[in-house]
Structure formats: structure tokens, C-alpha cells
Amino acid sequence: MGRNTRKKLKGQSATVKFGNMNWKGLFSSSLEGETLMVTGGYPESEGEVLVTRIDGKKLRGRRTHFLEPVSEFINQPPCEVFLSCGGCKLQHVDYTKQLQFKTSFLDTVICSIEKSQGNKPELKATIASPRPFSYRNKMEFTFSELREGRFFGMHADGSFGTVVNTNSCHLALEPMQKVIQLVSEWYLSGNVSGYNPYRHTGILRHLVLRGSEYENKVLVNFVATEWHEDIAHIAQKLTEISEVSGVFFTKNASVSDSVIYEEFTPLHGENRLREKLGNYLFDVSMQSFFQVNTGSAERLYQQIEETLIEYGATGGALLDLYCGAGSIGIYLSSHFNDVIGVEEVTEAIADAHTNAELNQIKNAKYLNRKVESLSEEELRAWGAKTIILDPPRSGCHPKARKSVAALKVKHIIYVSCNPRILPENLAEFLSTGYEVISIRPVDLFPQTPHLEAILYLRLKE
Ligand SMILES: C[S@@+](CC[C@H](N)C(=O)[O-])C[C@H]1O[C@@H](n2cnc3c(N)ncnc32)[C@H](O)[C@@H]1O
């Protein structure tokens, strides 16, 4: 057993029984004594699995079909490239079951909180997304050109270089579909080369789409290593789609694959979309952060508001850390005397100012800084009664945790999109006298294993 067994099993098919789902959306099983993690499984069901690769000391596989009896909670997935595309992991699972599986990730978080504070926080019912499909207002597709040919779509499950061809996406907002189809046809039969991430050759890298449900509009951004005149032609063609309100070009000639907005050129239209959450309007640009599921974001903000009211955490000043385009603070602004938002992305701060003005919010201020660069004294100067922390998936920087916890404000709302790192991120707060009172899961990412959660922390008397 060991490495040689794993090598021998790669490429083979076998019948296995599936166990629980992990945080990556993979179902555990075993084959000839080796751990096999499978996409497309279902707990306590049996199925045929193709072993696709070796992943460290484990095998990775893809379920090809289930054996009878098939659970009533297993659905026919609507997408043709489901299981080869890395975008979704759970289309085959009934949506209410998806929510159950994801909520169970919080068990270890609750256990670790209980160990530290001596009691369990209240786990509130999970709030579902208004729509389980066609919800994403931001999408990123990859153009690639390898020895095997040209590809346009999402990265294959767990792969850096392989892209699965597709000309639609069931997660994307409806008006994006025409754009995806047109760009896919243009690229696969056109003159502009795609990027090869191994050799760093080729031109087109990414197609980034941002949509607004409120306006039914889409912004389109081509990311490429250099300009090519044919991009101007497709950009012109895209403006014939009535929902397209802006087309842009971003140059990225670096080896880094992430979309960097250093050289951003408008080709058509305006770099702005308008969204509505509750009674508030929000202008967002291509560059700034906005929650990817607008309907769920509204539910998330409603829940934050209800939590603050329930625990008497309103009034005084609100410090909205990692504020993006200012949306949470603006949504809550009527409950506070002052709102201070802190955010590192300059364009997002510009959007936050625009949004405060758009909604005639007079009590909001913004600071374009990294949260961890603020000293305890700088943070204290705002005299906050309540703090909202809504960090990126990587969590709060240790320096930020330390200085925020040291302020000892009474109420903290920690919005997490990564339960896995929560125990580590909460440790500083729990050791400085805070108690986690409640956790409210909210689903912003149907068909994927990701889950958002609102944690309410209170300083002990
Ligand atoms: C999960 S988003 C939350 C945005 C906002 N609260 C909302 O609901 O739309 C995290 C935000 O933190 C910003 N960010 C990431 N690291 C940061 C840091 N070290 N300091 C300040 N802002 C940061 C990102 O640009 C992003 O806007």
C-alpha cells in the first residue's frame, strides 16, 4: 500500500460507498485501503467512481453513476459540464440537503467555541438563497490555449491549467448568458490567441462579467497580456446586446493569474452598475467588491440588522471594517449616529462615498487603509459602540484581530465566509473577554460548499 497502490489505482473505475462531505464539497470513501475523495458523491450511497488523480496521500475521483437505490435527495444536475467543471460541486444534491451539509461545517466551530467559553453559542436556522441557480452577479471565465487546442470556460475541478469548455453557466445571472455564448464562439473560431499558463504565451486571459439584477445590465471586461484589434470588434458586437452597458479592456502581462486592474481601459459605456438592497441603492464598479449573490446579500444584511436590534447593539458609532463599497454600513446607517468604513481598495472607497451620497447618508465617513495598519489608538478615536468585521476569505490579519479585540467595544458582528478559519480568527476575541452568543448561517453560494455566517460576539460583563 501507499504511493505505488495509489499510482496503480489512478485511471481505474471502482464501486465505493460514500461518507460525509468535507468543506471542499468532496465526499469521503476508500479504495484498497487508500482514502478516496470524490466529487458528486452522496452520504451512505454507493456509486461507480473514476479515480482521476493522486492528491498528496489521498486519491481524488469523480462519481460516474450511482447504484440503486438512489436517494430521493439526489437530483439530475442541469449543467452539462457538472463534475468536470470546478465551478459547482453540489448540483446533484437537493437544495435543502445542501444547506444541511454546509451547516454541519459549523459543528467544529461550535465545539471549539464551547471548549473556550464553556457554553455553546445559539445556532440559528440557516437562511436560504432566494434562487438556487442564476444568482451570481460576478463571473470570471478563462481563455486558454494549450497543445490540445483552445478552451473557454471555468477551470476544471482541482486543476490549475485545464479549462472546461462551456458557453453557458447555470450560476450566472440570466443576461450574462448571451455574452458568454457570443464571446465563446468568437474566441474558439477567431484570430486572437489564448494564454498558456505554463509557457506564458498568448493574449486572452480572462472574461470578467459583473451584472446588476436591479438594472438587468452587464459590464464586460477582457483581461489580456496585450491589446489586439479584434478585441475592439467583439467589444463593438457586444454593445448590440441591449443588457450590455459597458465593455472594458485590462492589460495583465504579469505571470500572476489574478485579475489586476492596473491598466484598465474603457472601450464602451460607463464603469458603473446600480444595485438595490432593501431601501438602499448601490453603485458598483468593475473593480469594487460587492456580494456575489444580491438576493442573499439582502437577507444577510437584514439578519445583521435584526441581530443588532435584538441585542441592543444600535446607537453611537459603528465601525464597518472591510467595508467594500460601503454597503453594510449604509444599510445600517439609520441605526447609528456615525458610520466609519475602512477598506483597502481605493476604487471601493470611491464607490462607498458615491453610495453614501446616492442614499443621502450624512453620517458616514470612509478611510482607505488596510485594517491591520490601524493602531489601537486610531481605532479607539472613533469611539465605536459596535464593530462589524467582514474580512475576505483569508480572514482577519492577526494584527487587526489584536487591536480590534483590545478596544473592548461591547458588540462585535463577525461576518465569515470561511468557517474553517473561524476558530483561529476568534481565539483573540475569546481570550480577551468576548463570548460568541449566536451564529446565523446564510447561504450566498448555492451549488457550492461555501457558506456565510454572522457571529454575534459580546464583551462579558
Ligand atoms: C468579504 S468583502 C466585504 C465587503 C463588504 N463588507 C460587503 O458586504 O460588501 C471583504 C472586503 O475587504 C477588503 N479587504 C481585504 N483585505 C483588506 C485589508 N487588509 N484591509 C482592508 N480591507 C481589506 C476587500 O477589498 C473587500 O472589499
* Helix axes 422-431 and 398-407, enclosed angle (nearest 10): 30
- For cell 470513501, what's the residue? 29
pLDDT on residue 163: 93
| Cβ of 371 less than 6 Å from ligand 1 | yes
| Cβ of 324 less than 6 Å from ligand 1 | yes
Q: Which three cell numbers stand for residue 82?
A: 457538472
Q: What sign results for the dihedral spanned by CA atoms 179, 182, 185, 186? A: negative
| Cβ of 404 less than 6 Å from ligand 1 | no
The CATH number for 138-276, chosen from 3.40.50.980, 3.40.50.150, 2.40.50.100, 2.40.50.1070, is 2.40.50.1070
Residue range(s) of every CATH 3.40.50.150 domain in the chain = 105-130+293-459
pLDDT tens digit string along 301-334? Answer: 999 999 999 999 999 999 999 999 999 999 999 9
Fold of 105-130+293-459: Rossmann fold (3.40.50)
pLDDT tens digit string along 271-281? Answer: 999 999 999 99
By most ligand atoms within 8 Å of CB, the mutation choice from 137, 259, 285, 289 for ligand 1 is 289
Q: Which residues contact 189 (CB under 8 A, 6 or more apart)?
A: none
- For cell 489580456, what's the residue? 224
Residue range(s) of every CATH 2.40.50.1070 domain in the chain = 138-276
pLDDT on residue 275: 95
Whether 300 and 307 have beta carbons less than 8 Å apart is answered as no
* Spatial distance between the Cα atoms of 281 and 396, rounded to a whole number of angstroms: 28
Q: Tell me, in angstroms, the distance from the centre of ligand 1 to residue 109's CA.
A: 22
| Cβ of 366 less than 6 Å from ligand 1 | no
* Spatial distance between the Cα atoms of 205 and 86, rounded to a whole number of angstroms: 17
All residue ranges of the chain with pLDDT < 50 are none
353-361 own/partner pairs: CB under 8 Å, 24+ apart:
353/326, 354/283, 355/280, 355/281, 355/282, 355/283, 355/325, 355/326, 355/327, 355/330, 356/326, 356/330, 358/281, 358/282, 358/283, 359/280, 359/281, 359/330, 359/333, 361/330, 361/333
Fold of 3-87: OB fold (Dihydrolipoamide Acetyltransferase, E2P) (2.40.50)
* Spatial distance between the Cα atoms of 146 and 163, rounded to a whole number of angstroms: 10
| Cβ of 390 less than 6 Å from ligand 1 | yes
* Spatial distance between the Cα atoms of 420 and 394, rounded to a whole number of angstroms: 10
Q: Which three cell numbers stand for residue 234?
A: 467583439
Q: Tell me, in angstroms, the distance from the centre of ligand 1 to residue 18's CA.
A: 37
pLDDT on residue 157: 81
* Spatial distance between the Cα atoms of 279 and 359, rounded to a whole number of angstroms: 9
Consecutive H or E run containing 294: helix 294-310
| Cβ of 398 less than 6 Å from ligand 1 | no
Residue range(s) of every CATH 2.40.50.140 domain in the chain = 3-87
| Preceding omega of 69 cis (within 30 degrees of 0) | yes
